[in-house]
A and B are shown apart, each in its own frame.
Chain A
Amino acid sequence: MQLEPLEAFAWRVPIGTVPGMRVPGVVFATDELARAIEGDNAIEQVANVATLPGIVEASYAMPDIHWGYGFPIGGVAATDPERGGVISPGGVGFDIACGVRLLRSELTLEEIDDLRGLVATLGAQVPRGVGEGGRVRLSRSETEKVLAEGVRYPLSQGIGWPEDEEFCEDFGVLQEALPGEVSDRAIDRGMPQLGSLGAGNHFLEVQVVDEVIDEHAANVMGLFRGQVCVMLHSGSRGLGHQVCTDFLKLVDAAMREEGIEVPDRQLACVPLGHEVAHRYLGAMHAAANFARANRHVLAHAVREAFESALGRSAREMGLHLVYDVAHNLAKMEEHEVGGERRRLCVHRKGATRAFGPGSEEIPGLYREIGQPVIIPGSMGTASFVLVGTDEPTAFASTCHGAGRAMSRTQAKKRMSGSELVKQLEGEGIVMAASKPRLLAEEAPYAYKDVSQVVDACEGAGLSRKVARLRPVGVVKG
């Protein structure tokens, strides 16, 4: 399947590419990324999403797009409940509200005498890997409180700093959550897992601000060149996975009753007015609250690790939260479509919300610059901090990361995990990986060039670069 040039940094997947498309697909990419995308099944997935009932404007795809399941990874689709619009759990994914949190500090790298010791302490303090429980073991009723209150629950238990709530997307909690719609099985899975990193492509990195591109925005966020930061990537763990599994089944059944057909069963969907849609939205938001709380507790572990390793208080070291974003979520949002304000269900699957300056949905401090967007690069390569622009393209969405460029099998063939560790250590990056053998699956060469991805986002008006960060320490499950 081929992409047709639309405008600078934008390509069209025309109606008719697959049967039943209601809108075109629009893929944001540089020329080089576009050529690579054409070799992947992702274009077919962009076209499939365009068949969803009530989809508005286009089936969008970010420059880091790659083959997913149902939705492409990097897909954005908004549906209108007033026009038969649907909600699709596949448009959120199994790792509900997986996302990224960035902490800054007042430290420069030179002030850290023993970086290897700091990374080792982080590795010891942050639960990671398969089968590892979290920092906090919750009872059933405590888990339900997390589902309802998000970061407010751990805050009420003395975990984290009060200001962390404001600097988290959705101010740390989605109020429309319905904890009662989260199954016992999902709660069973979540109870022992709060404050755990997970495995796969989840990670924690100690990073240094390498380059400041927008001085003013960086200043507002408290970022400066040479500054030590910590970025962590994790999600809703087994609880979120179970919520998606549970509702995929229910939505699949309800979809058949409604007589809706989709080209890929993972696109199972149900009209937003349907009872199952209401229940899924509530459960998904509850799982999102768990994900936010998870990253909140992990950040607390980071602060404690810094205190332990460096012998100073986290407050003194200025380990403040810059922002926390989700990149697997669906929310009801107001957007302008054809000159009219409409309330839409915006699915972002491997894509990040990027509200522009003036939005009341973002902290007051950031309203003059726009919403921060945290973009992790692949392991060992640069990460970026961006801001949303005042162009509401693709329902104010942008990329989420570098996006995979090859399969895990292909990645493992190129290099062994231990060779990769050696290579990254040789580049000055301290590595703490629980499973070196699987590391090659997450190697930088398995991903697209994140610089190209963020350039394409900037070129398309989706977001603007503020700072580039490079890793100096990596902790992985």
Chain B
Amino acid sequence: MAQLELFFQTLISGFLLGGLYALIALGMALIMGVMRVINLAHGDLMMVAMYIAYGLFIFLGIDPYVSVFIAAPTLFLFGAGVQKFLLTPVMKVESILPHNQVILTVGLAMVLSNLATVLFTGNYRSVPVKYASSAWYLTDIWKDSPIELSLSMPWTLSFVIAVIITIALWLFLSKTDTGKSIRATAQDFDASLLMGVNVNRMRMLTFGIGSALVACAGCLFVPIYYLYPSLGRQFTNVGFVITVIGGMGSTNGAVIGGLILGIFESMTASYIGMGWAPVGRFAVFVAVLVFLPGGIVSILRKWRLGK
């Protein structure tokens, strides 16, 4: 029975984690899909948002969930700015090494994480919100339940908000004109250009939205995680592992991949141990790259076409 309890608890934790992971990956997938840029500074953008939330809480007492409304727009502007002033000039230049955009984001990541280290030192910080350890228990609802399961309040809240944001994004991309223009630019840049889509603005918007999404994820993580400057790298890894699992540039893939990775890491932590977690993540990454380069989405596509 204890085994069953552990399994379900792990599954739930994994699912909740996966929802947040999906939000991180969504931003990266959007950027990858529209601009074919692998943003290796993605996690550091998230770290910046987390420190903003931290600062707002410490100095103004603002709850991290409310900080979403401040951090997200801030990072939206920052992201759009990065696209306009840094990425666009790079994309124009012809060079022998084709990965200049990626290297540029690496440079950005170095600057952000190092600045954070200098400004905030490497000390772990946490935001002690009142509800940090509150939870809902299965036995509260079902008195005679054979197993005990708990749903941590901040985790659940963050998950629910993440789901809301994801749905909002989906609506934006599929129902609004701007959203459709973004998807068009992702599918065929030249055709969109010819159709009158302001592709440069789309790119700026996309990088902005991608940054805003990851900023949301950051604020949602603040109540449940602790904060240190090199967090960024970890979450960048999470981001691109998920986009590869899901399928590069696919927003659907990001969601599915996020949930899968969340559950996988939760299982690994419960059953194998924390130290090997990064290796597990990377091993999955390499395995997917080798055996399923198109990601999960490619399986779905084949299945759909085969019908």
Instruction: Tell whether A pairs with B.
Output: no
- A interface with B by C-beta (< 8 Å): none
- B interface with A by C-beta (< 8 Å): none
